[in-house]
Amino acid sequence: MATVKAYVFDAYGTQFDVHSVLDCCEELFPGHGEQLTILWRTKQLEYTWLRTLMGRYEDFGQITRDALVFACGRLDLSHSPDQIDLLMHTYRTLRPFPDTTKALDTLAGTPCAILSNGSPEMLRSAVLSAGFESKFRHVLSVDAVKMYKPHPATYA
């Protein structure tokens, strides 16, 4: 049996709960928070896939913002630049899942890393806000290859 040399995790939806923006969405748009978070995430993923297929890379922060603006428009939610900025800040500081810290502590002693679609700035912000600086030896962004997962170049 092979010895595990390292663990590499995705960030969004694995370490960090992308729906932890729900409270902020609900506060800004009462009665629409859940719909907004679901459509925002769906459109964010679609945009990464389409950008990679078209060979037109855009920073994940911009894609996340564009997906949010689209979702607000699709749901007919009147929004201000300040509201968009607040939601983007909330996204950059997503909460980790409740069991993440314990799981990472269990793996202490074996190098752990993140490989994510997130931009370096967004990942740095999420890792810092969760207090995970010491838990990951490397935080890798697809920004280095300018293509989004699941393109094979992102794993190479």
10, 17, 59, 66: which one is catalytic? 10
Is 10 among the residues known to form the active site? yes
Q: CB-side exposure of 73: number of CA atoms within 13 Å?
A: 7
Length of the chain: 156
- Indicate the Cα dihedral angle 25, 30, 35, 38, nearest 10°: 10
The span from the CA of 70 to the CA of 93, in Å, is 21
Residue 67, φ and ψ in degrees, nearest 5: -65, -40
The amino acid sitting at 124 is R
Catalytic residue numbers? 10
